[in-house]
Amino acid sequence: MPTSMTMPEPAATLPRPMNTLPRVLAPIVAATLEQLRRDRDAVSLTDLQRQIRTMPAVPSLQEALRRPGLQLIAEFKPRSPSRGVLRQGAEPSQFAKAYRPAAALSVLCDREHFGGGPHLLREFAGLTPQPLLAKGFFVDPYQLAQVRAHGAAAALLIARLLPGAQLAEMLQACGELGLEALVEVHNHAEAELALAAGAEVVGVNARDLDTLHIDLAACRALLAQLPASTCKVAESGVEQPSEVTVLRAMAAQGQVDAVLIGTAFMTAADPAAAVAGLGFA
């Protein structure tokens, strides 16, 4: 991790006009910015940077995902905007145990819409050595420092939220903080922008954020088109063993490295059995 961090501390600003955001993201981003203002008032970026300098190194997400075979990123997500509460009283300790076969854990850091929060990273960091992927709606370097200070090894950046040079700027901020980044895209144009910005780990979201429609075939097609050097992750909608079987065949051909699964595990009566039922053990 770099020994010097010199990121400025600007006021929180929306990355793009609200009316250009997908309908599912607009209210979430608005709430994110309001939460960001409160968090910055409570703890400064300088204080977070000072804390990060004293923290031990974190495991590499990319190294974990590049192991042979299809790797699993198991997600802790108490609720979602589209489905409401996924699991009442979800406990990190239960899911840390259930998710032991996973290469990495994804932890929702959005408080209002997903029932998560940066504090969950600290809880999971005390329960597992697996790399933790902070999943949220990151539009400001402060948020990246916040999740790194809570134990994240990587952060998810949504390409559609970060137009122009902003994605590259956020990737640079990740590097300065000792964070890796998983850049989420949905279509070919976003994938090209992510690669041009320097993304090394790219996640293809099967869910269209405008319509919420899930197209697993389109997701797999785009994954297969990404450069061989890219670490590739399939995101959203994978719930059946047959779908995992297809991805395993793709992994054998170097077309995908990992799959991110959350809802299927969060809603299962026995999360550990659900993980095993999809072939991860």
Domain CATH code at residue 84: 3.20.20.70
Domain membership of residue 153 (yes or no) is yes
Residue-level pLDDT at 81:
81
Domain membership of residue 215 (yes or no) is yes
Residues in the chain: 281
Domain membership of residue 229 (yes or no) is yes
> What pTM was computed for the model?
0.91
Predicted confidence (pLDDT) at residue 173 exceeds the cutoff of 90: yes
Mean pLDDT of 38-43: 95
The string of pLDDT tens digits covering residues 188-231 is 999 999 999 999 999 999 998 888 899 999 999 999 999 999 99
Domain membership of residue 37 (yes or no) is yes
At 19, the pLDDT band (50, 70, 90 cuts) reads low
The string of pLDDT tens digits covering residues 200-211 is 999 999 998 888
The string of pLDDT tens digits covering residues 258-278 is 999 999 999 999 999 999 999
Mean pLDDT of 148-172: 96
At 34, the pLDDT band (50, 70, 90 cuts) reads very high
Domain membership of residue 15 (yes or no) is no
Mean pLDDT of 20-49: 89
Domain membership of residue 180 (yes or no) is yes
**Which of 97, 104, 11 has its CA nearest to residue 61?**
104
- The residues annotated with a catalytic role in the active site are 75, 77, 135, 184, 205, 235-236
At 80, the pLDDT band (50, 70, 90 cuts) reads confident
> CA 45, 201, 95 angle in degrees (round to 5)?
75
Nearest-Å Rg of the Cα atoms of the chain is 17
Q: Is residue 80 classed as helix, strand or coil in its secondary structure?
A: strand
Predicted confidence (pLDDT) at residue 15 exceeds the cutoff of 60: no
Are 158 and 136 spatial neighbours (Cβ–Cβ below 8 Å)?
A: no
Domain membership of residue 12 (yes or no) is no
At 164, the pLDDT band (50, 70, 90 cuts) reads confident
Total of domains in the chain = 1
Domain membership of residue 3 (yes or no) is no
Q: How does the average pLDDT of the chain come out, rounded?
A: 91
Please give the helix or strand (H or E) that residue 188 lies within, else none: helix 188-197
Residue located via tokens 């850049």: 183
Residue-level pLDDT at 20:
67
Predicted confidence (pLDDT) at residue 35 exceeds the cutoff of 60: yes
The string of pLDDT tens digits covering residues 90-116 is 999 999 999 999 999 999 999 888 989
Are 178 and 57 spatial neighbours (Cβ–Cβ below 8 Å)?
A: yes
**Which of 258, 270, 271 has its CA nearest to residue 73?**
258
At 11, the pLDDT band (50, 70, 90 cuts) reads very low
At 177, the pLDDT band (50, 70, 90 cuts) reads very high
Residue 104 phi, psi dihedral angles, 5° rounding = -155, 160
Q: Domain range holding 101? A: 20-277
The residue ranking higher by pLDDT, 272 or 2, is 272
